Amino acid sequence: MAIYFTLLVIIRLSGRRTLAQMTPFDLVIVLVISETTQQAMLGDDFSITNAVILILTLFTTDIGLSYVKRWWPRAAHIIDGVPTILVTDGVYDERALKGARLQKEDVMQAARSQEGIESVTEIKFAILEVSGNISIIKKQKSG
């Protein structure tokens, strides 16, 4: 359990862009299960039974925490984070970019690929989602 929570904290501190489309829970489960499986396969663990028990414990913990997040929204914010607004009405939020360890070019790359946007002035909102993706909302053309 200590490994699970340690990995969760480390992954949260590493930033959302590191995760691509995985939630912190997904990545922790994949890492710990792969390590547990490796130990069982290589004989570093004393038994496969211990590996199975650990895997079941991790899945149970993951499911339990998903219920906690559902019942207590503050827990979801702590565990998964919250979306971060990077651009508002064509203006970069430098503090948000720095906090997310992103460059303006990261936002523009997402804007070009999602909406065909060529200039930040065409962006109503750019949002760094909990998944690590950048969502772009294009300004409406007046006229």
129: buried, middle or exposed (CB in 10 Å: 19+, 13-18, 0-12)?
middle
Residues of the chain with CATH 3.30.240.20: 84-138
pTM above 0.85, yes or no: no
Q: How far apart are the first and last CA of the chain?
A: 58
DSSP label at 141? P
- The architecture in CATH of the region 84-138 reads 2-Layer Sandwich (3.30)
Q: If DSSP codes are grouped into helix, strand and coil, which group holds residue 134?
A: strand
When mean pLDDT is compared across 12-21, 91-100, 126-135, the lowest value belongs to 12-21
Confidence of residue 106 (pLDDT cuts 50, 70, 90): very high
